[in-house]
């Protein structure tokens, strides 16, 4: 792993240069009222890297698994596979979202490989930024997702007038070498500032999981029939918003849409959400999770137990988006685990 540094003004100069070069989409974080979103940049001055509240939609899901995507077009007896992968640079991805992309990699890059996802992943250059001012609803530190040492190309750490740049990938190395005129070497003092910034960030978290994450699967195994699920279900709207904003909720529905002539059409996939009433409904109307409490419970088990068993990674990265978005104020994994510990089975 290689370290470099870049002056903040130089960074914005470099990004503006990349935008003018038009080598691909340059996506970064911009501020929209009291929220933040990833969108294509027209000017580096719009980029906001010091954001604390997680972006409305996670960048991995938004660009590697679009909300709606055409998979193929068909006409008569022939079909054409569609893969709309574009060269893309994502700037300002927090560590918890980098961890979420690793979860997506585990799901979509394992056999059978999802070629649409794989091609987008291959064409995406990721510049992360360390999360130094955590939002009150974020609990990344207790999920060990507040820091990361792989899964990105470059990672920026703000130390005042400049960023320390951690170079992780071969693509990152080539990028640094290509734009070396913008880059400086790091010093011993830079490293001290880097270490201090990371240690101070850990002290700022207000929310933490009440149980060590390695104990969560065993804990939940004993809480499957706990009455808390039914109590929470009374307040749940089954709106699915907690799923839609979650960076590791990657379920989708596939639908063939034919034209009126029945000779041509498209196959599309679109995000789906396990909190929605019809998610587990099958032919003849049977619903395997027809009760709200079943769906609510499934979401928590999927985040804190099932994915670690199947893929070796936790499905919750502690970003707090579900807490921020839930109008019923019941989606917090931290509060649910806390109440499960207090409530007898």
pLDDT in tens, 247-291: 999 999 999 999 998 889 999 999 999 999 999 999 888 999 999
* pLDDT at residue 273, as a whole number: 96
pLDDT digits (tens, 9 = 90+) for 108-131: 999 999 999 999 999 999 999 999
Sheet holding 78-81, edge to edge: 78-81, 68-75, 264-271, 252-258
Mean pLDDT of 341-345: 82
d(CA 223, CA 230): 12
Transcribe 275-323 into DSSP letters: TSTTTTB-GGG-BTT-SHHHHHHHHHHIIIIIHHHHTSS-S-----HHH
Q: What is the pLDDT of residue 274?
A: 96
**pTM, two decimal places:** 0.95
**Overall average pLDDT of the 122-147 stretch:** 97
pLDDT at position 3 is 94
Report yes or no: 127 and 198 within 8 Å, Cβ to Cβ. Answer: no
- pLDDT of residue 98 exceeding 80, the answer is yes
| Per-domain residue ranges of the chain | 2-66+84-204, 213-251+274-342
C-alpha of 7 from chain center: 28
Q: In what helix (H) or strand (E) does residue 101 lie, and over which residues does it extend?
A: helix 95-108
Q: How far apart are CA 94 and CA 54, in angstroms?
A: 8
Please name which of 129, 128, 137 lies closest in space to residue 204, comparing C-alpha atoms: 137
Which pLDDT band holds residue 52 (cuts at 50, 70, 90)? Answer: very high
State the distance between the two ends of the chain, measured CA to CA, in whole angstroms: 48
* pLDDT confidence bin for 84, thresholds 50/70/90: confident
């Amino acid at each position: 792993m290689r370290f470099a540094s870049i002056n903040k003004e130089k960074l914005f100069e470099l990004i503006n240069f990349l935008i003018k070069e038009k080598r691909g989409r340059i996506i970064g974080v911009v501020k929209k009222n009291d929220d933040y979103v990833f969108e294509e940049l027209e000017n580096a001055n719009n980029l906001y890297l010091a954001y604390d509240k997680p972006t409305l939609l996670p960048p991995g899901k938004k660009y590697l698994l679009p909300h709606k995507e055409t998979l193929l077009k068909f006409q008569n007896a022939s079909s054409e596979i569609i893969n709309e992968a574009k060269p893309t640079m994502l700037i300002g991805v927090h560590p918890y979202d980098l961890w979420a992309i690793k979860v997506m990699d585990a799901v979509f890059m394992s056999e059978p490989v999802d070629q649409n996802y794989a091609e987008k992943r291959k064409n995406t250059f990721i510049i992360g930024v360390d999360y130094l001012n955590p939002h009150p609803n974020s609990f990344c530190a207790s999920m060990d997702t507040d820091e990361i040492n792989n899964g990105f190309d470059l990672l920026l750490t703000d130390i005042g007038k400049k960023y320390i740049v951690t170079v992780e990938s071969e693509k990152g190395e080539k990028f640094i070498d290509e734009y070396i005129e913008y880059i400086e070497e790091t010093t011993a003092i830079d490293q001290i500032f880097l270490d201090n910034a990371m240690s101070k960030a850990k002290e700022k978290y207000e929310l933490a999981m009440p149980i060590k994450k390695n104990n969560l699967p065993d804990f939940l195994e004993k809480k499957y029939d706990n009455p808390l699920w039914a109590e929470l279900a009374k307040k749940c709207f089954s709106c699915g918003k907690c799923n839609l904003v979650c960076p590791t909720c990657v379920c989708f529905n596939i639908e063939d849409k034919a034209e009126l002539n029945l000779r041509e059409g498209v196959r599309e996939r679109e995000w789906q959400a396990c909190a929605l009433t019809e998610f587990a409904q099958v032919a003849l109307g049977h619903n395997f999770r027809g009760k709200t409490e079943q769906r609510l419970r499934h979401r928590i088990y999927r985040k804190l137990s099932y994915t670690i068993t199947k893929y070796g990674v936790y499905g919750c990265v502690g970003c707090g988006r579900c807490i921020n978005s839930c109008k019923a104020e019941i989606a917090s994994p931290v509060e649910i685990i806390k109440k499960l510990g207090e409530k007898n089975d």
